[in-house]
Structure 1
Amino acid sequence: MIICSWNVKGLNDPSKVVEVKKILSRHNISVIAIIETRRKEGNAQRIQNKFGSAWLWEMNYTCSPKGRIWIGWKHNRVNFQLIRKTDQTIHGDLSDKDGLFSVCFTAVYGLHTIEHRRPLWNELVNLSAVLTKPWLIMGDFNSVLFSGDRVNGNPVQIAETKDFEECIQAAGITELKSCGNMFSWSNKGQGDQRISSRIDRAFGCCDWQSIFTEVCVDYLNPGISDHSPLLLDCNIAHHQGSRPFKFFNYMASHERFRQVVQEGWDTPVVGTAMFQVWQKLKAVKKGLKHLHHKHLHQSC
């Protein structure tokens, strides 16, 4: 299952449609969230027909006349069941035909002001409270999260990041690992005139992170847009064979148990509070797995 999110800055140019089709084919994408299509609802079907009959689509024209978000999926590979639309999100259940992959998926396109984005943060927190399966969130949030997320331009202010940070904490989500371009958007200026920022992101809840532990978001070159496409290979086959962690009661009475747990929990981690807890728990798990392996080896 390969999922893509891309702010294409409009599909009004035929060359952009061609470029999106190339991305879909080159990377064997099954699901794509196309952000900022700039197409009126009456023209949407004509554009979608150019992608072929293999693709089905959901759009949020009922909440935004500009159709700010389109989700497309290859219906012979996956199913997408719409649950909710707003002017800044499309949310639904995403699963593959083999029954190996079943998650909640939210495509995001944040509005352009701090005030107008606040309903988005509330929406994500409310969704987090009712989810019963792994949750993936991808898109253009139109907001930086850390002070280092912008190069040149105006310095990042606390007011810009505060609501985003609080949303992440309240929703219990963490950013997925990434590779490629650090900054997902630029004004394509030259030298000191080039402003770059990281406003396109992918997040997962704890259930997502525990299943797709090694998944990495690839930030591709922006190409026709001023935004980078985000590419996520969920690599189902790899994760299907992994062994779940098991805690054996005898370890609690082992003479090194408390030391191993303390060492894992003291691992220095930088990031949000939820991210720190998650990484510390992973460190504790690693130490306990090593203790279990060593104990069995000594017992044989």
Structure 2
Amino acid sequence: MDSLLIWNTRGVGNTPTISTLHRLISKFKPSIVVILKPMLRDDKRVQVGLQLGFRSSVSNAAQGGQDLGFLRPSLTVDLIAVSSQMLSISAAIQGGPVSILLSFVYAKCSRSLRKNPWDQIAVLGAGPALPWVVAGDFNTVLSAFERQGRGIFDSSSASDFADALNRAGLLDAGFSGNQFPWCNNQSGQSRSWARLDRICCNSPWQTAFPAFQSKLRYVQTTLKSWNKDIFGNIFNNVELAEEDLSATEDIVLRDNNPDNLQKLNQAKEKLTHLELCEEIFWKQKSRNR
């Protein structure tokens, strides 16, 4: 497979979006093009595929989903699992070394509703160890560092997501470019950003595609450093964050001006994040016994 193009866009049936897709396809020559939230009727989906030079497609629109994939004829594809939030296919590449597994996610905003794709990821991770990529809009983050601006970091949601990836043996592939691809497009203090989109892969994928693996080496090195800095001092950091929160609460009690309230929210978010790190630490510890 030459390359895989995934675009999270709100509607793909307009001329500017089609023109952009044409340019991207011409530049990268992907074997598969995946559109998240295409907002297309069935007849329009076929028309757009032909416009882009693709005669085959897969979709979870019948299940109320938002994933659409256009496929090159050089791929032999089987539909493995389909739901309203996730679409999984296996692809046999002509002249390629192995069959591969590809999962595309457009998760719900609600934590309770995201349990379904997390369970699907765990089930697929327990199956045959094919090279596997899971990509899309997961509608949650893994840490407080992956969001900025208004809003409280949801440690429970992040823990659910991290646990699903861990159980399936999936590693975050990192990113280049904009750190926060999602924005709520609000103004002033109401504006927020987050890293909701990501690509994850398993170790058989790294083995089968060394070029992809080399890109991960920097990410893995960075994660190891982060692991040492965060988990290596986790208990001390939690204690310091608790003391900082207590001191900030005292300040707010004396003067609850907006600046102090903002510092209080930041202190709460920091403690919540460190408590999540502590929780993940103990989960990893129990699995390594």
**TM-score, normalised to structure 1's length?**
0.67
Q: Does 1:59 align with 2:59?
A: yes
How do residues 236-247 of structure 1 correspond to structure 2 at under 5 angstroms? none
- Using the TM superposition, give the Cα deviation of residue 188 of structure 1 relative to its aligned residue in structure 2, in angstroms: 4.3
User: Structure 2 vs 1, CA of residues 19 and 155 (structure 1 numbering), >3 Å: closer, same or farther?
Assistant: same
CA distance in 2, matches of 1:217, 1:148: 25
Partner of 2:34, secondary structure, is: strand
- SS of the counterpart of 2:112? helix
Which protein has the bigger helix share?
Answer: 2
CA distance in 1 between counterparts of 2:47 and 2:210 reads: 39
Gaps of 5+ in 2: 217-223, 232-279
Return the offset for 1:59.
0.8
- Corresponding position: 1:31 with 2:32: yes
Matching residue of 2:42? 41
Contact 1:73–1:79 (CA<8 Å) still a contact in 2? no
Give the whole-Å Cα distance in 2 for the aligned partners of 1:2 and 1:199.
22
Q: 1:108 to 1:73 in 2, by over 3 A?
A: same
Aligned residues: 224
Equivalent pair of 2:97/2:208 in contact (CA under 8 Å): no
Q: In the aligned structure 1, how far is the partner of 2:39 from the partner of 2:214? A: 26
Change (3 A) 1:22 1:55: farther
Alignment check: 8 A CA contact 1:21 1:51 kept: yes
Q: What's the counterpart of residue 126 of structure 2?
A: 129
Q: 1:185 aligns with which of 172, 182, 185?
A: 182
Following TM superposition, by how much is the alpha carbon of 1:211 offset from its aligned partner in structure 2, in angstroms?
Answer: 3.6
Change (3 A) 1:69 1:268: closer
**Cα 1:63/1:133, change in 2 over 3 Å:** same
Alignment partner, residue 102 of structure 1: 99
TM-aligned CA distance change 1:217 to 1:142, over 3 Å: farther
- 1:144 deviates by 1.1
Contact 1:177–1:216 (8 Å) recurs in 2: no
Residue 261 of structure 2 corresponds to which residue in structure 1?
none
Query: Contact 2:118/2:164 (CA < 8 Å) preserved in 1?
Result: yes
My pick for the range that moved more, 147-156 or 182-191, is: 182-191
Q: Could you tell me how far apart the structure 1 residues matched to 2:25 and 2:189 are?
A: 34
Give the distance between the partners of 1:167 and 1:142, measured in 2 at CA: 14
Give the counterpart letter for 2:58 in structure 1: E
Please state if 1:170 is matched with 2:170: no
89, 92, 99: which one aligns with 2:89: 92
Partner of 1:296: none
Change in Cα spacing, 1:157 to 1:87, as seen in structure 2 (3 Å) is same
Q: State, as a whole percentage, how many aligned pairs show the same letter.
A: 21
For residues 98 and 154 of structure 1, what CA distance do their matches in structure 2 show?
A: 49
CA contact (8 A) 2:146 2:180 kept: yes
For 1:120 and 1:40, locate their aligned partners in 2 and report how far apart those are by CA, in whole Å. Answer: 24
In 1: Cα distance, 2:116 partner to 2:141 partner: 17
Q: Quick check: 2:147–2:194 contact (8 Å CA) kept in 1?
A: yes
Distance of aligned partners of 1:20 and 1:80 in 2 relative to their CA distance in 1, 3 Å threshold: same
Does 2:64 align with 1:72? no
Separation of aligned partners in 2, 1:48 and 1:2: 17
Corresponding residue number in structure 2 for 1:8: 9
Q: Distance in 1 between matches of 2:58 and 2:125?
A: 22
CA distance in 2, matches of 1:181, 1:134: 27
Deviations 1:112-153 (A, max 9, x none): 211111111001001111133111111111111111111102
- How far did residue 46 of structure 1 move? 2.5
Which sections of structure 1, spanning at least 5 residues, go unmatched?
A: 219-231, 233-266, 278-300
In 2: Cα distance, 1:95 partner to 1:71 partner? 16
Partner Cα distance (1:69, 1:177) in 2: 22
Tell me how far apart the structure 2 counterparts of residues 185 and 85 of structure 1 sit (CA, whole Å).
25
Please report the RMSD computed on the Cα atoms of aligned residues, expressed in angstroms. 2.8
What secondary structure sits across from 1:98 in the alignment? coil
1:138 to 135, 142, 153: 135
Equivalent position amino acid for 1:161 in 2:
A
